Amino acid sequence: MRVLVTGAAGFIGFHVCRRLLADGDEVVGVDNLNDYYDPNLKKARLEALKKEPDARRFEFVKLDLKENAAVAELFERKFDAVCHLAAQPGVRYSLIDPHAYVQNNVSAFLNVLEGCRHHRVGHLVYASSSSVYGLNQSMPYRTCDNVDHPISLYAATKKSDELMAHTYSHLYGIPTTGLRFFTVYGPWGRPDMAPFLFTRAILEGKPIDIYNHGRMERDFTYVDDIVEGVVRVLRKPPEGCAAWDAKEPDPSCSPAPYRIYNIGRGEPIKLLDFIEALEDALGMEAQKNLMPIQPGDVERTWADTSDLEREFGYRPQTPLREGIKKFVDWYRAYYGV
């Protein structure tokens, strides 16, 4: 296929591009290379893509998805599928710069939807987030659960994307699939996330901030498992659900070609156990600074992946300690520490 990947210089986007190239697809990668975190890491990911054996089938375009005319021109190039991974990430940063989230996660997504509409893209797969579950404490999180109570603007923008995607699936017949990612980690990860922050602090002999006094659980999911799910879904556009009941509507599907899936390992890990695995991989002990829970955070996440298993025969499998070791090995190699 000829696939447009937005956020190609980002953490997950980089890994998806690499996998699609290995599978024989032609990839056009888009990113604006902003400075939310170190742009040099984003550039290093792009350099790594250029060294892939199949790099001749990869083209990078620096572009800001908020620019209406530029996005419309991009879609003139025609794509079989779009994998939309570009976004303004981070729950806590949404308390600092809320406008960035509406601009990058809502306005930019509208431009992508319009591009898919006017050029009849065969399938749009886009990144949502486990954050949409918000105040919901019914565990594990199921895609049929109500997600009307987000507790961060980041989560609200991700739910907005799901609603906008459904509208375009309903009005224009565009097949869209939203993927709710659960705490992704692994090599080439984001510097603002816990594995990166904790590793750097431990190696530098500095204390790490542990929120909610360590009483946090996350469904940590290794990046290769996320990518496997993304690629399987990308190759199978959804169809309308004939059994959908308008009197008891399931929000994860529709009579329109629209679907929502969770992608997580399906196993909540205590934050202190995660830190212990990191300490073991590093061979060093962390200095722990216990802190209260932060606004916008939830205490626990846990993915029900039964829909993904039933329809794609797939469930993430990488054990935490195996994934942490791969991350630490990459980190030491990349930074020479």
Which residues are catalytically annotated? 154
Per-residue tokens: 46: 């792009």
The amino acid that residue 3 corresponds to is V
**The pairing of beta strand 2-6 with beta strand 81-84:** parallel
- The owner of tokens 């017949």 is 173
Which residues are CB-contacts of 144 (< 8 A; sequence separation ≥ 6)? 250, 251, 252
CA 261 to CA 311: how far, in whole Å?
10
The amino acid that residue 80 corresponds to is D
DSSP, res 285: P
C-beta atoms surrounding 4 within 10 Å: 25
Q: What share of the chain is helix, strand, coil (3-state, %, to 5)?
A: 45, 15, 40
Q: Calculate the CA dihedral of residues 243, 82, 227, 203 and round it to 10 degrees.
A: -130
Q: Do the Cβ atoms of 131 and 158 come closer than 8 Å?
A: yes
CA 202 to CA 170: how far, in whole Å?
50
- The owner of tokens 């604006």 is 32
CA 127 to CA 177: how far, in whole Å?
9
